[in-house]
Structure 1
Amino acid sequence: MVDLSQYLPILLFLGVALVLSSVFVFAPMAVSRLTGAHKPDPEKLSEYECGFPAFEDSRSQFDVRFYLVAILFIIFDLEAAFLFPWAVSLDEIGWTGWAAMMIFLGELVLGLVYAWKKGALEWE
């Protein structure tokens, strides 16, 4: 017969996670319902970020170059996140780790050169 008492910590963890996630989801909804945040009026619906009405529909499409620049930013931001642990552990990983990072950086440089040649970094 299987001893199910070993699963008790896991079940407790899942129970606490379920309770906390439910509190974080439903407590703000209850507080907003009690404080009157759900009753819209003209003052609440007015423009608050820039102070004047929007020029066009908020669901208008962005130019694809915006997304290309955003993707390039994320790629090179992740590169910086990979460089720090690599630099800290370089003496432990040796030449193999150094060569692997140089290959990785070379691939990123090739991607940047390709994006630059295609005009992904040009902005009008």
Structure 2
Amino acid sequence: MDELQIWQLVLYGVLVLLVVVVMLGLAFVLGERRIPGRAARQPYEAGMLPIHTAHIRVPVQFYLIAMLFVIFDLEAVFIFAWAIAVREAGWLGFWAMTIFMGILFVALAYEWRVGALDWGPRFDRIRARMDNSQREINKRV
């Protein structure tokens, strides 16, 4: 990059910051000032009065499912890219994708095996019964 391009980039950055500061300043100066009442501070749910607090505890399994979704959704990007360039990739690309899919299948089987995809009271009871039956089998042996 020559010196002219660098100055153009710096000027662009300064102008962007200036526009942001001006917009925020105008909103602060010209904006409506009012203190929200009690009703405005409450969460709104389809016109119904709230009966509990808005802060609820979310089970950790939701976050686990979200992480698994992100991990396994990212594979779709690679598969789509491979599908577009499958002819150019040739047999090497085919075998690389086969190995990639195999690793993903093994990871999914592992997640299933350790019970990361099973959660809730129903699965806890089933798992407890399985653990009890396994203990009985171990006692007999």
Fold conserved between structures, TM > 0.5: yes
2:1 matches 1:13: no
Offset at residue 69 of structure 1 (A): 0.3
Higher percent of residues as helix: 2
Q: Aligned pair count?
A: 118
Question: In terms of Rg, which structure is larger?
Answer: 2
Listed as ranges, the gaps of 5+ residues in structure 2 are 121-141
Q: Which runs of 4+ in 1 moved over 6 A?
A: none
Aligned pair 1:66/2:62, yes or no? Answer: yes
CA distance in 1, matches of 2:15, 2:36: 34
**Counterparts in 2 of 1:77 and 1:94: CA distance versus 1, 3 Å:** same
Residue 96 (structure 2) aligns with:
100
Aligned to 1:55: 52
Please list, as runs of the form range in 1=range in 2, the aligned pairs for 1:78-93 lying within 5 A after superposition. Answer: 78-93=74-89
Higher RCO (C-alpha under 8 Å, 6+ residues apart)? 1
TM-score by length of 1: 0.74
Aligned to 1:121: 117
Taking only aligned residues, the RMSD between alpha carbons, in angstroms, comes to 2.8
Q: Is the deviation greater in 10-19 or in 45-54?
A: 45-54
Q: Name structure 1 gaps, 5 residues minimum.
A: none
Q: Distance in 1 between matches of 2:77 and 2:25?
A: 36
Q: Tell me the residue number matched to 2:131.
A: none
